Amino acid sequence: MVPQWFIETKREGQAHPEGELREWVRGVADGSLPDYQIAAWLMAVYLRGLTAEETAVLTDAMMRSGECLTFNLPRPTADKHSTGGIGDKISIPLAPLCAAMGLAVPMISGRGLGLTGGTLDKLESIRGFNVRLSTAEFQRLTGAVGCCMVGQTDSLAPADRRLYALRDVTATVPSIPLITASIMSKKLAEGAQTLLFDVKVGTGAFMETRDRARELAQSLIATGRRLGRTCVALLTNMDQPLGRTVGNALEVRESLEILQGRGPEDVRALTVREAAEMAVAAGLYPSLEAAQAAAEAALASGAAEAKFREMVAAQGGDLAAGLPEAAARVPIVAPASGWVAQVDARAIGRVALKLGAGRQAVSDPIDYAAGLDGLLQQGERVEAGAPLGWLCAADEARARAVLTEAQTAFRISPEPVAAREIIYERMA
């Protein structure tokens, strides 16, 4: 394969023969292809796209560029991937809930990206929680506990790491086939047989329109199927933060509330629905209704919370030490009485980042206690002067510096407003 001819093929909108595409990915992973040729090809793909067949071959080759895990367990394996959103803590209650229902969940998660928080950062707000386990330990705990949540190792889909870094600096990230291959190569290498995709739609998401989200979901499902996995997708609302908290320790606390059968209804409903979808797709329950009832029962009985505590302890975490709490709490005061008509997820994400809950540079430390708490949601009534939520920060000055920005994230209507729809559609 001559690299410039390979690039020319895509530049002219033609399909790559399978063998050449696999050779190309080997060259990406082993470093024999230079950045400038990979970058040129990425732009050709961005402009011309890939066929479903090419996307599957690219995904498979990227997956095989590193270690591929397998599980030989008596329980079916399942995992979910969320495209990311503000306040999206669903993975934290979901994995132990699924484990309590009889699934094995080997979950490899990420850190915060842009404005969206990362599951690993959230879990690390629990003192001692170790997300850097060896592959053998990850496999062992997935079997022994029923769920394990870790970070990506260097040996998982290394071709993706190089392609992702180059996409980031060549304006080629928002390409459906490239996003598909990136997400799926990692999820497939992780070894779960059933995959649920939570594709977020809205101002706080990667995909701002339902059409784009649908296109991505279709591509993820089709690629997963071609490569032998069972896949389901939900398109869900990310115009407003999920739940009442944004920020690492705050979101762990809210996740615990969900596991105790409390917590905000949107987080609870989405967690139960996702667990049920995974359990049905994995063949554990005959219907969504039966699986949802089982999920509700696992929350009510304390079985899901017990699984969470078991997982935390197995990964070195100490919940008894308490979660970090911010020194300063400043209310976001409602300027008028009325009903919350909008809570701009992107603006709330920016505020959380400025409070210290996220990183502005890769090496930035995180303030685990920082973020927003007690956020009102669309449709809720508020009186002038009452809090719309609270800013949590290391000191009051840091909170006050973002107070106006936080206030303008809320729109208040003098008329009643309906609560927002959370789950738009299901695709399989």
Indicate which residues carry an active-site annotation: 81, 160, 167, 182, 186
User: Tokens 């007690």 label which residue?
Assistant: 374
Cβ atoms of residues 103 and 282 within 8 Å: yes
Closest CB to ligand URA among residues 179, 352: 179
CB of 46 to ligand URA, least distance (A): 12
In 3-state terms, what secondary structure has residue 64? Answer: coil
Cβ 301 to ligand URA shortest distance, Å: 35
Q: Which of 109, 178, 198, 197 is nearest to 147 (CA)?
A: 109
Task: Report, in Å, the least distance between residue 221 CB and ligand URA.
Answer: 16
By beta-carbon distance, which residue lies closest to ligand URA? 182
Q: What are phi and psi of 268, to 5 degrees?
A: -60, -45
Whole-number Å distance between alpha carbons of 357 and 377? 20
Q: What are the two backbone dihedrals, phi and then psi, of residue 145, each rounded to the nearest 5 degrees?
A: -95, -40
Task: Specify the residue, 238 or 256, whose C-beta has the smaller distance to ligand URA.
Answer: 238
Compare residues 85 and 146 and give the one whose CB is closer to ligand URA. Answer: 85
Binding site for ligand URA (CB under 6 A): 164, 179, 182-183
What span, in angstroms and rounded, lies between the C-alpha atoms of 315 and 130? 5
Separation of alpha carbons 151 and 328, rounded Å: 31
DSSP string, 268-291: HHHHHHHHHHHHHHTTS-SSHHHH
- Interacting residues of 148 by C-beta distance below 8 A, sequence separation 6+: 105, 106, 107, 133, 138, 141, 142, 311, 314, 315
CA 406 to chain centre: 24
Q: How far is the CB of 190 from ligand URA (least distance, A)?
A: 12
Q: Which is nearer to ligand URA, 180 or 378 (CB)?
A: 180
Q: Which is nearer to ligand URA, 164 or 329 (CB)?
A: 164
Q: Using CA atoms, how far apart are residues 86 and 348, in angstroms rounded to an integer? A: 8
Q: Least distance in Å: CB of 416 to ligand URA? A: 37
Which lies closer to ligand URA via its Cβ, residue 182 or residue 223? Answer: 182
CB of residue 323 to ligand URA, shortest distance in Å: 27
Q: How far apart are CA 82 and CA 93, in angstroms?
A: 14
Closest distance to ligand URA from the beta carbon of 85 (Å):
12
Nearer to ligand URA, 139 or 182 (CB): 182
Instruction: Classify residue 351 by burial, with Cβ atoms within 10 Å: 0-12, 13-18, 19+.
Output: buried
CA 210 from chain centre, in angstroms, equals 18
